[in-house]
């Protein structure tokens, strides 16, 4: 919570200074609108929050800007609440989790953190290095695997769908709890690479008819509105089940979660708040709103 609070300070300060005045007037709402837009909350979510806030202020008969800030925290919590959902492991063995994202979003780091989180909860993990293009990516995942004492299935220059198939088959045979499939970073505009992702998904289903059980997109919270565009594109191509939002430490664009909640509410399973293994937190709407608004 402290790390999240510190991380969201840049986003939060712009919004909270709006409430330092003494009067609740149109200027306050206008400044708040600007601050929310600056924080990448997006036009729709900003409008929704302002309308909701005006209603709450009227109902509560609030007279102090400080009270309005508390009401905004409530409005934001309600908006973000649909994004709150725990990642459930154990309904299938293994639970197959496919992870996608654009280059540099923090996919491999998040997989390392997630592996550690799962291992801490007593789950055995098998990693599939389906990023067969970049030797460095395989090596990086290998480092995480060693650090987490988990197994890894990788294949130099192989077909990513084939590696995924092998990993799911091995996970089944070895009775692992979770198979995590890391895919190469790609842009939604690279159509052939998006098709390749769909192929990986299909081939995973061939190895296990019920899989993948989770299809996660890792997005960089620092990219603001662009992250929302990524959610839309990857969701259209892959039917996402969840998100991991990274780099929420030190961002000025934390409002993007509100935009996602408003426009494409894919659950946020985890948030990344640093580069270390332990810097992964489950997403909680109230905590996030409070961390943001101080
Ligand atoms: N501050 C901070 N940095 C992060 C976080 N998550 C990842 N990073 C950093 O972001 C950079 C990119 O992370 P990677 O995990 O390599 O990204 P990737 O999506 O796997 O990249 P590709 O393999 O190119 O697709 C690294 O320097 C990470 O340390 C986070 O939550 N906070």
pLDDT at residue 134 is higher than 90:
no
Compute, in angstroms, the gap from residue 116 CA to the centroid of ligand 1: 16
Rounded alpha-carbon distances, angstroms, from residue 216 to 97, 133, 182, 267, 273:
7, 20, 10, 10, 18
> Which of the residue ranges 24-28, 75-79, 132-136, 141-145 has the most confident prediction, judged by mean pLDDT?
75-79
pLDDT tens track for 179-196: 999 998 999 999 999 999
Q: Where are the beta strands (DSSP E) in 131-255?
A: 151-153, 178-183, 214-220, 242-246
What is the distance in A from the centroid of ligand 1 to the CA of 201? 23
- Segment 94-108 shows an average pLDDT of 95
- ipTM of this predicted complex? 0.96
Of the residues 8, 104, 113, 114, which should be mutated to test ligand 1's pocket, given the most ligand atoms within 8 Å of the CB? 104
* Residue at token pair 């460095």: 136
Mean of all residue pLDDT scores within the chain: 92
Residue-level pLDDT at 96:
98
Mean pLDDT on 222-230: 94
**Does ligand 1 have an atom closer than 6 angstroms to the CB of 271?**
no
pLDDT for position 257: 96
What mean pLDDT comes out for the span 91-114?
94
pLDDT surpasses 90 at 157? no
Instruction: Say whether 8 counts as a known binding-site residue.
Output: no
pLDDT grade for 263, boundaries at 50, 70 and 90: very high
More confident residue, 251 or 200: 200
114: pLDDT strictly greater than 90? yes
CATH assignment of 95-283, given 3.40.50.300, 3.60.130.10, 3.40.50.2000, 2.30.30.90? 3.40.50.300
Mean pLDDT within 225-252: 94
Q: Is 42 in the pocket of ligand 1 (CB under 6 A)?
A: no
- pLDDT for residue 130: 77
Backbone angles phi, psi at 19, to 5 degrees: -100, 15
Mean pLDDT of 203-211: 97
Question: In the predicted model, is pLDDT for residue 176 greater than 90?
Answer: yes
Where are the chain's structural domains? 2-83, 95-283
Q: Does the pLDDT of residue 294 top 90, yes or no?
A: no
Which of 40, 46, 101 lies closest to 231, judged by CA? 101
- Ligand 1 geometric centre to CA of 272 (Å): 10
Residue 139 CB coordination number (10 Å):
12
Q: Look up the CATH number of domain 2-83.
A: 1.20.120.140
At residue 96, the 3 state secondary structure works out as strand
Instruction: State in Å: Cα 100 to ligand 1 middle.
Output: 13
Cβ of 138 less than 6 Å from ligand 1: no
């Amino acid at each position: 919570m402290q790390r999240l609070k510190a991380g969201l300070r840049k986003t939060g300060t712009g919004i909270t200074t709006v409430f330092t005045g003494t009067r609740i007037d149109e200027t306050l709402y206008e400044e708040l609108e600007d601050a929310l837009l600056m924080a990448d909350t997006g036009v729709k979510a900003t409008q929704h929050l302002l309308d909701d806030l005006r209603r709450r202020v009227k109902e509560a008969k609030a007279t102090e800007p400080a009270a309005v800030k508390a009401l905004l925290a409530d409005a934001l919590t309600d908006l973000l609440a649909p994004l709150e959902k725990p990642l459930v492991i154990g309904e299938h063995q293994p639970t197959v989790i496919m992870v996608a994202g654009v280059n540099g979003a923090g996919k491999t780091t998040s997989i390392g953190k997630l592996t550690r989180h799962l291992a801490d909860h007593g789950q055995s993990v098998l990693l599939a290095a389906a990023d067969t293009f970049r030797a460095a990516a395989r090596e990086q995942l290998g480092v995480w695997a060693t650090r987490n004492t988990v197994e890894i299935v990788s294949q130099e220059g192989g077909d990513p769908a084939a590696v995924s198939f092998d990993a799911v088959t091995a996970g089944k045979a070895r009775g692992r709890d979770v198979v995590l499939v890391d895919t190469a970073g790609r842009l939604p505009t690279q159509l052939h690479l998006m098709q390749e992702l769909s192929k990986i998904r299909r081939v995973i289903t061939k190895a296990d008819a019920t899989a993948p059980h989770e299809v996660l997109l890792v997005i960089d919270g620092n990219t603001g509105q662009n992250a929302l565009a990524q959610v839309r594109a990857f969701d259209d191509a892959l039917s996402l089940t969840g998100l991991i939002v990274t780099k929420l430490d030190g961002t000025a664009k934390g409002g993007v979660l509100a935009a996602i909640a408003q426009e494409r509410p894919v659950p946020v399973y985890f948030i990344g708040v640093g580069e270390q293994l332990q810097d992964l937190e489950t997403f909680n709407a109230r905590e996030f709103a409070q961390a943001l608004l101080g």
